[in-house]
Amino acid sequence: MTLLVSARFTTTVAQMHQLPVDGLPEVAFAGRSNAGKSSALNVLCNRRRLAFASRMPGRTQALNFFAIGPQDQPNGFLVDMPGYGYATAPGAVRESWIGLAGDYLRTRQPLVAVVLMLDIRRGVTALDHGLLDWTPVTVPVLGLLTKADKLSRNQQQAALRTVRAELALRHPSRHFDLVLFSSTHRIGIEEASDRIAAFYRLTQDSDHPETQSNDAV
Ligand SMILES: Nc1nc2c(ncn2[C@@H]2O[C@H](COP(=O)(O)OP(=O)(O)OP(=O)(O)O)[C@@H](O)[C@H]2O)c(=O)[nH]1
Ligand SMILES: [Mg+2]
């Protein structure tokens, strides 16, 4: 589970024309405001304040790119998307989120996977469904059921079943991987890391069989 530990901030994208042009695979991290995205990023990347880089003025409504893998030859980018659904966000902020995030998810060729943070106690909200509607069905989605520590084992399993059923009902043509997750209690971290690392590897293997390498994870 070492690939994500190499994450380092690279660039901020506020408009589509600023996106990197090198075509390296991108895994986007998305979720409602307060779903635990920053905490998850920090624990997955083993940094205390990696996600802090996304909170700097001007970067909060933008896509923040973190390079992954070797310094001289990155495997790809982790893309931190702005949280959505913040109750008091002014209309203009909501509009700009929809514009950039919607365009990015709908049209971005190098996007190989979405990691969706879902607060286990809230389940899937209307905004989460909207985000999934934008994401092409060919792009796999890994759902992290965050703050799992807040529920008992039995409640966790029940929540997992409910979320799985709701996603299957609303997005029948899409496959979901779901992982029970807690940043504070370190639940599901290795499993999530391994799955995310595999997203970068998968595309490399299929696009460039000759560049397969064992040091990807
Ligand atoms: N119990 C528990 N609390 C958590 C966990 N992860 C995050 N939290 C808490 O949930 C709140 C939101 O966490 P963040 O990681 O800041 O969430 P975010 O999605 O980045 O939120 P915004 O950036 O503000 O939209 C904080 O008070 C965290 O301490 C977890 O695994 N367990
Ligand atoms: Mg955050």
- Indicate the top mutation candidate among 29, 32, 34, 150 to test ligand 1's pocket, ranked by most ligand atoms within 8 A of CB: 34
Distance CA 196, CA 114 (A): 9
Is 74 close to ligand 1, i.e. is its CB under 6 Å away? no
pLDDT of 210:
46
Q: Which listed ligand is nearest to 53 at the C-alpha?
A: 2
Residue labelled with tokens 């994401």: 135
Ligand 2 centre from 146 Cα, in Å?
13
Amino acid 216: pLDDT: 46
pLDDT number for residue 1: 52
Which of the residues in the chain have pLDDT under 50?
A: 208-213, 216-217
pLDDT at 88: 63
The 63-68 sheet, strands edge to edge: 8-13, 63-68, 76-80, 26-31, 111-119, 141-146, 176-180
What amino acid is encoded at 103 in this protein? Answer: D
Q: Is 42's C-beta closer than 6 angstroms to any atom of ligand 1?
A: no
pLDDT at 81: 93
Distance from the alpha carbon of residue 100 to the mean position of ligand 1, in angstroms: 24
| Cross-strand partners of 168 | none
User: Rounded to an integer, what distance in angstroms lies between the CA atom of residue 75 and that of residue 197?
Assistant: 10
Q: Is the CB of 82 under 6 A from ligand 1?
A: no
CATH, range 3-210:
3.40.50.300
**What pLDDT does residue 98 have?**
75
Give residue limits of the domains in the chain: 3-210
**Which ligand number lies closest to the CA of residue 84?**
1
